[in-house]
Each structure stands twice: as C-alpha cells, then as structure tokens.
A = this chain, B = another copy of it.
Amino acid sequence: MKKVTAFAPATVANVSCGFDILGFAIDDLGDKVTVELKEAVGLTVARIEGDGGKLPLEADKNTCTVAIQAMLDALGTQKGMEISLEKGLPLGSGMGSSAASAAAALVAANELLGKPFEKNDLVPFAMEAERMACGAAHADNVAPSILGGFVLIRDYDHLDMVKLPVPKGLYCTLVHPHLELKTADSRSVLRQQISLKEATVQSGNIAGLIAGLYQSDYGLISRSLKDVIAEPSRALLIPGFYELREAVMDLGALGSGISGSGPTIFILSQGRNTAIQAGEASKAVFEKIGLGVDIYVSEVNDRGAYVQTP
C-alpha cells in the first residue's frame, strides 16, 4: 500500500455550556486527505483543492504536514510522504476546518504506516497542528474529528478525553452566515473574570448536558444547552443570533449556540425533520438581515475520521 485517502468530519467545539471542554462531530461534511509514500524523505503538500488558494503549501505551515511530522517524531522515524488535501469545509467558519485537515492526514498516514497508533493516540499530534494554526493546542475540534461523537476534554494539562454517548436521532443543523469573524476578535471579547454565580450556573448546565447524553434525555439536553459565560459576549458579534434562536426554539429545536468561535451557529434537534425546518427558519432570519448563508443538516457522527481507500 503506497497511497491512502481518509476523511475527517467537521466539528462543533464550545458546545454552549461546554465552553473549551466539549466538541462533537458532524456527518458527511469534512475534509479528505490523500497521503502517498515517496522514496525521498520529507513531507510535501502536492495540492490543495477547495480552499480558494488560501492555505499554505509549506510543510511547516500546513496542518496536515505539521500533524504527520509530530506523529513521525513520536515514532522517531523519517518518511517521504506527499499530501493532497481536498477541503470540504469553509475556512475560518468555526466548524473545525484546520482540525479536520489534520485529523484526515493523521488517519491516512497512520494507515499507511500499518497503524502504529490507536485513534486516541493521534489526538496529541493533531493538537500540535492546532498550536501551529491558531496558537493554542486546542483539542475540542481535533478530538471529535478523529474519534467521532461527543468528546469531553476534562483536562488539557494531562490530556484526559472522554468519549460520550450520542443519543439516537440527534441531529445538528449548521448555519454558516457569510461574514468574517476573526478568532482573535472572538477571543478578545471574552470576559476574563466571571462571577461565582455564573460559574455555578455553567457547572449545573454542563453536568445536566452530560447526564442528558448518557440518559438520551432530550428534555434535559435542551434545558442544559445554555452558555452564560462566552455566549453573552460573542453573540453580539453575530447579527441575527438571538432571532435565529427564537425561531428555531419555537419550532421545537433543542437548543442553539455558537460553533467554535463563530460565526457558524449550531442547532441541535431531535430528528431530521426538525433539523431541516430549523435550517429553513435560520435561512429566513439571515435573508431578512441581508446576509447569505449556507445550511448543513447532519446526524451527529459517531465514527469520526475514517480511511476511504484500504
């Protein structure tokens, strides 16, 4: 085997009350990476499609190659590999674009090398790519993109991940309004001090959300999908955020929130029909504002990244 293609899904991080500690994976929408073994040692990016020419081809600046290099370093080996990346995800949208590329690259390269690593072990390598791409080694996109489902990052200092169950029939609608929102701006509006009361409310909600996922209790999931810490500041950067919430809650969605650091909004629903209706209602909200929007409807993906060609 000299060539492997893998797919890794888009992800939603900062799941409302799960700010900085929780993410989940989407089905279908994501990036494809093909890794081909070469004679000459060294990693190269041969081509990137679907990025509008925005992503770097330099091996030390591309998340695919940075992630694979971290993996090779861990193995204490050098290899020749040529990477081709097919972006299925918009850049800088808050859907875990850089993470999906790194995840797909790792799963493909791991397969090519005869699977020296379990999926769990790939996460730290992808985090190195996140560190390069956004300055911080976040795991809340790369972990669900690799592992699938909901992944809790209990602790970053000693990477402690917990894969959580996904209730049957849980759907996500992603609403990507055509506006640019820099992660740095989205980060800078966060309050660095919060009240004890707010921290307690947030704790109650993340605890309720985790219990709701284990019990497949949609009512509890819905009541728990509230963020009193990041959302009140960040929602101000996204026009239509609260109008969208009102519209989708009225038609029975479980909750909505900012995906990653935005501007994409995620909506969780029980069942595909509600998720589709939520997408239509969201589109109407943004059309009224005069903003274009892309809508994706998908079941929450429980398998994560996978090899497409054996």
| A77 located at the interface, meaning its Cβ lies under 8 Å from any Cβ of chain B in the complex | no
Q: From A155, A196, A224, name the one whose CB has the most chain B CB atoms within 10 angstroms.
A: A196
A23 to chain B, nearest CB (A): 12
Q: Of A14-22, A106-114, A234-242, which binds chain B?
A: A14-22
| A154 located at the interface, meaning its Cβ lies under 8 Å from any Cβ of chain B in the complex | yes
Report the Cα distance A203→B290, complex, angstroms.
37
A-B contacts, 8 listed (Cβ < 8 Å)? A152-B208, A154-B204, A160-B223, A192-B195, A194-B196, A206-B207, A207-B209, A207-B210
A204 to chain B, nearest CB (A): 4
Contacts of A192 in B (CB 8 A): 195-196
Question: Which A residues from 186 to 231 make CB contacts under 8 A with B?
Answer: 190-196, 198-211, 214, 220, 223-224, 229
Partner of A196, one of B200, B214, B229: B229
* A207 touching B207, Cβ below 8 Å: yes
* A191 touching B202, Cβ below 8 Å: no
A192 to chain B, nearest CB (A): 5
Interface residue total, chain A, C-beta cutoff 8 A = 39
* B19 touching A204, Cβ below 8 Å: no
Question: Which A residues from 163 to 191 make CB contacts under 8 A with B?
Answer: 164, 190-191
| A134 located at the interface, meaning its Cβ lies under 8 Å from any Cβ of chain B in the complex | no
Report the Cα distance A190→B208, complex, angstroms.
24
Q: Mark A30-51, 1 if CB is under 8 A from B, else 0.
A: 0000000000000000000000
A194-B193, A196-B192 known; A211+B152 contact, CB < 8 A:
yes
Partner of A211, one of B18, B20, B164, B195: B164
Q: From A18, A153, A204, name the one whose CB has the most chain B CB atoms within 10 angstroms.
A: A204
* B208 touching A154, Cβ below 8 Å: yes
Report the Cα distance A196→B21, complex, angstroms.
13
A17 to chain B, nearest CB (A): 7
* B154 touching A19, Cβ below 8 Å: no
Contacts of A206 in B (CB 8 A): 203, 206-207
Which residue of chain B is the closest to A160 with respect to CB atoms?
B223
* B18 touching A203, Cβ below 8 Å: yes
| A162 located at the interface, meaning its Cβ lies under 8 Å from any Cβ of chain B in the complex | yes
A158 to chain B, nearest CB (A): 8
Contacts of A201 in B (CB 8 A): 155
* B200 touching A20, Cβ below 8 Å: yes
Contacts of A200 in B (CB 8 A): 19-21
Report the Cα distance A13→B222, complex, angstroms.
26
A267 to chain B, nearest CB (A): 21
* B196 touching A195, Cβ below 8 Å: no
